[in-house]
Amino acid sequence: MNEDTDLPLFPLSAVLFPQSKIPLFIFEERYKILIKDSIETESEFGIILFSGHKVHTTGCTAKVIKLLNENEKGEMDIVIEGYDRFELLNYKAGTEGYFIGKVRILEDDYTDYDKDVLAECIKIYNELVEIVYKGTIEKINQNDLKWKKRLRSFAFVMAEKSGMSLNERQSLLETNNENDRMGIVMNYLKSIFPKLKESERISEIIKSDGYIQ
C-alpha cells in the first residue's frame, strides 16, 4: 500500500489487532458487496471501531482468510485477519453504500520493549490463561520460534484473551510504541488478577473473547 490510500471501511463494535483473527457474520447488503469484492480480488478493507455514535480514527486493515458458509440470501460466515494499523484521515460515502476512507498506514516496531516488564506480563498472562481457559488456550512461550521472528506484538496477543473492554482495546490499538502498549497491558492484568478466582469475572472474560487463536 502507498502511505495514503483509499480503503473500504467496515465499522464494527469490535477492535481488530494486527495478526489477530475474528469471525464475522455478514448480512447487510452493502457489506455483502464489500466482502464479496474483497474475496474475489483478495483485497484489504478497514475494520474500525464504531461505538457511542462515534467512528474512531485508528483501525486495522483486514482480509478474508476463510469463507465458512454462504446461504441462499448471500449472508456469509467468514473469518478475517488483521494486518496493519492505520489512521483514518477522512472518509466519504461510496457508490455501493459503504464508506471509503483515506487512510495512512502506521509503522510498527514490535522489538522495542522492556524485557523485565515483558517477562512479568507473560507470567501474569499465563496464570490468567490457566485459571480462565483451563488449558484450552495456548500460553505464551517466549522461546517459541514465532516470537523470535518478532512479527507479532506481545501486547496485542495478550489483549485478545484477557477480557479488556472495547475502549481499552481501542486505546491499545491507538498506542504507537510497543513498550507503552506493554505498560497498558501490565497495568490492566495487575488490576484484574486479584479478582480472577471469582466465577463471575471469569465468565465476563470468556464472553468478551471474540478472537480466534
Averaged pLDDT score across all residues of the chain? 91
Count of CB atoms within 10 A of residue 187's CB? Answer: 9
Percentage of the chain modeled with pLDDT above 70: 99
> Which residues have CB under 8 Å from 35's CB, separation 6+?
26, 45, 64, 76, 78
Give the β-pairing of 99-105 and 76-93. antiparallel
Q: 156 and 198 share a domain?
A: yes
Tally the domains of the chain: 2
Which grid coordinates are listed for 125?
498472562
Instruction: Write the pLDDT tens digit of every residue in 165-191.
Output: 999 999 999 999 999 999 999 999 999
Q: What share of the chain is helix, strand, coil (3-state, %, to 5)?
A: 35, 30, 35
List, in sequence order, the alpha helices (H) in 100-177.
115-133, 145-148, 154-160, 166-174
Q: 155 and 86 share a domain?
A: no
Boundary (domain end) residue, out of 60, 86, 105: 105
Instruction: Write the pLDDT tens digit of every residue in 90-120.
Output: 999 998 999 999 999 998 888 888 999 999 9
Give the β-pairing of 4-12 and 45-51. parallel
Q: What is the pTM of this model?
A: 0.91
Q: Residue 74: give its domain's CATH number.
A: 2.30.130.40
Residue 161 lies inside a defined structural domain of this protein: yes
Residue 110 lies inside a defined structural domain of this protein: no
Domain, as residue range, for 158:
115-207
